[in-house]
Amino acid sequence: MKQQLTIFFLFVSFLSFAQTQNDWKKNAFTLTPELLLGLTMDANDGFPETKLQKQAVLNLGRYHTNNPQEWAQRLKAPKTGLSIGITDFGNLDSLGIAISAIPFIEFKAFGSDRWKILTGMGATYFTKKFDAETNPQNQAVTTDITWAYRMYLYYQFLSTKKIDWRAGLGYSHHSNGHTRLLNQGYNSFLVSLSADIKNPLNHSETELKVLPIYKKTVYDYYAVRAGLGQNVFALAFNDKKNVYTIAGEYGRVYNNTFKVGIGFYYRFYQHYYDYINGNESLVQAGREFDYFRSDPWYNSTNLGVSLHGEIFLNHVGIDLQLGYNFYKPAYKLEWRINEGWDNTPREIPEYWILGELDGSYKKKHRISSRLGLKYYLIGMEKAPKNNLYIGANLNANLGQADFTELSLGYVHRFNIRERK
């Protein structure tokens, strides 16, 4: 699953970067080398000592100031592209090197050309990971490839004809999306110095055409999707199994750029089903969850409602969903196993201290989130009547990774109306 997601992210990045090839685009290309220094936060007790974290990043981007497409004008001419970086976390022996590829979008901040906010989500390959024998102290990642996320605020302190010099401050995160435990993840805070090189290929300046003026529009839509995810259950059940999703939603799209919808989702967790159907410790007769065995399938499902937002960049969608679980009974079982004593065994003794169903549990049990990218078969700039997309998403329980997912979806548009 992680390899497929990595290919998907690179595929989406390439297509979003190359989908418009008009002549005026050639001198909109920008190259931004970036150096970063900062701190790698401890991921677990006994985490290896670290020196200063060092990153080198090359941002391949394109300004959309003169992009005639509606989304570019509605979003006030952002910059999009791909960040390719290498990271030394400050301890090569235990933490190794990370190589990242992260699609990004950069907006103006505070209504000023000098301030910018960059956010991006992609994938990272690690040369070192947790190993019980050779690298037991590093519990940050246990897989070769993880999700990667970065968010930075930049200030342009010097501008010349060819280069804009910028200082930045931001946050980087890496985790495997709950596809293998341990999964504490890397969290880092860094400062940045970058040089935004304008038109590095020295393309001749092209005459700018008058940008179109778009009318305000709105239309309703409905969408359905099917998803295949993967996650692990606990250290004693550390093999990946599937999470199956069916979801639907209804909502509105404004100006072919902003989408807001409400919907529902149904999920089935294979790990929950196998644990219950296999008569494992906590569902055995006389134990806390023995009643789950009366209907293993139903007790392995998750039903919820969602609020969905999305920003269209023509073929690419930046996807965000916030949900409320009104039925997810087996999450209580998962919490009991994972939040008590460390290294809970498969056969759990009666005296074992299990996770308490506290306030943190109640929030994570109810609140779900979903973040990712989509690629639409037909560009949303055309407001197609019918469309298909493929998506890659990280699903979470109030910020704590739940499962990693690939999905296929269908969208139907109703009549477009003008707004005043």
- Residue 328, domain CATH: 2.40.160
Q: Is residue 176, in this structure, part of any structural domain at all?
A: yes
Q: Is residue 208, in this structure, part of any structural domain at all?
A: no
Query: How far does Cα 292 stand from its chain's mean position?
Result: 33
Q: Say if residue 36 is in the same domain as residue 164.
A: yes
Q: What is residue 97's predicted lDDT score, i.e. its pLDDT?
A: 97
Three-class DSSP category at 327: strand
Residue 364 backbone class (left: φ over 0; alpha: ψ -120 to 50; beta: rest): alpha
Q: What is residue 244's predicted lDDT score, i.e. its pLDDT?
A: 98
pLDDT in tens, the chain (420 residues): 555 555 555 555 555 554 554 555 666 889 999 999 999 999 888 999 999 999 999 999 999 888 889 999 999 989 999 999 999 999 999 999 999 999 999 999 998 989 999 999 899 999 999 988 899 999 899 999 999 999 999 999 999 989 999 999 999 999 998 888 888 899 999 999 999 998 877 776 655 567 888 999 999 999 999 999 999 999 999 999 999 999 999 999 999 999 999 999 999 999 999 999 999 999 999 999 999 999 999 999 999 999 999 999 999 999 999 999 999 999 999 999 999 898 899 999 999 999 999 999 999 999 999 999 999 999 999 999 999 999 999 999 987 889 999 999 999 999 999 987
By residue count, the chain amounts to 420
Q: Is residue 211, in this structure, part of any structural domain at all?
A: no
Which of 198, 227, 249 terminates a domain? The answer is: 198
The kind and range of the H/E element at 153 are strand 145-159
Please tell me the total count of domains within the chain: 2
Q: Where are the beta strands (DSSP E) in 232-315?
A: 241-254, 258-269, 301-313
322: burial class by Cβ within 10 Å (0-12, 13-18, 19+)? middle
Q: Say if residue 191 is in the same domain as residue 233.
A: no
Q: Is the pTM higher than 0.85?
A: yes
Q: Which domain holds residue 398?
A: 217-418
CATH of the domain at 117: 2.40.160.20
